[in-house]
Amino acid sequence: MAAADPVMPVSVPTGAGTREVLDVGYPVLNLQKLDNPQVSIHQCAQRYGSQAIRSIFEKLGERQSEPAFEELNFSDNYVGDEGASYLKDGLKGNKALKRLLMPRAGMRSAGFQSIGSLIGSCPSLEMLVLSSNLADASGVEGDFSQGLSKNKSLKSLCLAACRLNNAGVQHLCAGPLTVHPALEHVSFNYNRLEDEVCNSVCRMLATNTRLRYLELCGNSIGPAGAEELVKGLTANKGNLQKLGLAQNSIMQKGATALCKHFVSEKGKSLEYLDLRHNKVSYYGCVEIRTMLNKPIDNDETNKGWMINFGTRQLMLNAH
């Protein structure tokens, strides 16, 4: 099958000191490219940096053409704070953009502020992935929080491994996440979160009736935090459908509290609960499974870490 004719080919600079031709006329621009498996990730990351982004919008401007991108994928490219600023200016008020993918893009706090300004001005943006960029708490304050508050279309926000710590997540939960009208999925995985953050998460769950999937895996939440989350789930009145808490430290006490909620009348709308790798001993798992009426020895379909309740799934293992 012959390749489609280019719609709007432009020449942009690369990090290697060369120039490459990109077609910027299509709705999807994917710059996550690995042409040679022997090339290092570092070399790939340098390929399309901030100057390439700047050049894309300069070329569009020369042609008096508005960006028609519905999806931009800059994953694993060193966009940096400078590149984020070019994106903010080049896509301001854009009505076409639906998905912006920028994990591992070398951004820090200033870059997050630029992206916050961008999402506040894009009325069609539905998915934003910023995982594995070092925002710190300061990155999600100010313009980022304000932009998220202004946005009315975003459905999925991925901020995993952004080093937000308790302060960053607390700020978001107390601000734009309280009543966001469209956001259904939020990921705070691997952000160095502790029990302290759970109170803010609970207050957010009490007012946010739109959120369906919350990810808190890979943090340091303990038994007290897990019990606090049960209060938040109760106050949420069954709107949240999926909760990820794998790879924390909730132990048997925290796992028991969450499992009791899962099988209770108030927890029946929770379709998916992941409690794997939470320092629950084998004997602790046996006790919890017995409480759930899903004993390991008598349940041929639930001998592993996935425990089925019809179409609902609870995940628990000894660790």
Confidence of residue 2 (pLDDT cuts 50, 70, 90): very low
**Domain-located, residue 19:** no
CA distance 121 to 132: 24
pLDDT digits (tens, 9 = 90+) for 161-171: 999 999 999 99
Which pLDDT score, from 0 to 100, does residue 175 have?
97
User: What's the pLDDT band for 302 if we cut at 50, 70, 90?
Assistant: low
Phi, psi of 100 (to 5 degrees): -125, 115
Q: Is residue 111 part of a domain?
A: yes
Q: How confident is the model at residue 14 (pLDDT cuts 50, 70, 90)?
A: confident
Q: Where does the pLDDT of residue 197 fall: very low under 50, low under 70, confident under 90, or very high at 90 and above?
A: very high
Residues 6 or more apart whose CB falls under 8 angstroms from that of 222 comprise 194, 195, 248, 249, 250, 251, 254
- Mean pLDDT score of the chain, rounded to an integer? 92
Give CA 127 to chain center in angstroms.
Answer: 9
pLDDT of residue 1: 37
- d(CA 148, CA 172) in angstroms, rounded, equals 9
Name every residue whose Cβ is closer than 8 Å to that of residue 83 and which is 6 or more positions away in sequence. Answer: 49, 50, 53, 54, 74, 105, 107, 111
Phi and psi torsions of 99, nearest 5°: -135, 125
Is residue 307 a part of any domain in this protein?
yes
Position 69 confidence tier, pLDDT thresholds 50, 70, 90? very high
Q: Is residue 10 part of a domain?
A: no
**Total number of domains constituting the chain:** 1
In a domain? residue 4? no
Residue 252 has pLDDT above 50, yes or no: yes
Phi-psi map region of 193: left, alpha, beta (phi>0 left; psi -120 to 50 alpha) = beta
Mean predicted confidence (pLDDT) in 239-254 = 98
- In this prediction, residue 283 has a pLDDT band, given cuts at 50, 70 and 90, of very high
Q: Is residue 9 in a domain?
A: no
Q: Note the pLDDT of residue 296.
A: 81
Res. 119: pLDDT tops 60? yes
Mean pLDDT of 61-67: 92
Residues 87 and 116: beta-carbon distance below 8 Å = no
**Does the pLDDT value for residue 298 go beyond 70?**
no
Tell me whether residue 7 is in a domain: no
Note whether 245 and 226 are within 8 A (CB): yes
Residue 288 predicted with pLDDT over 90: yes
On whether the pTM is more than 0.75, the answer is: yes
d(CA 289, CA 80): 48
Q: Is the pLDDT of residue 299 over 70?
A: no
Residue 226 maps to which CATH number?
Answer: 3.80.10.10
Residue range 295-301: mean pLDDT, rounded: 67
Q: Is the pLDDT of residue 143 over 70?
A: yes
The answer as to whether 238 is a domain residue is yes
Domain hosting residue 207, numbered range: 25-315
The half-sphere exposure of 72 on its side-chain side, counting CA atoms within 13 A, is: 26
Q: With 60 as the cut, is the pLDDT of residue 50 above it?
A: yes
Over range 65-83, report the average pLDDT: 95
Instruction: Return the percentage of the chain with pLDDT > 90, whole number.
Output: 83
State the pLDDT at residue 34: 61
> What phi and psi, each to the nearest 5 degrees, are found at residue 308?
-95, 135
Split at pLDDT 50, 70, 90, the class of 38 is low
pLDDT at residue 5 tops 90? no
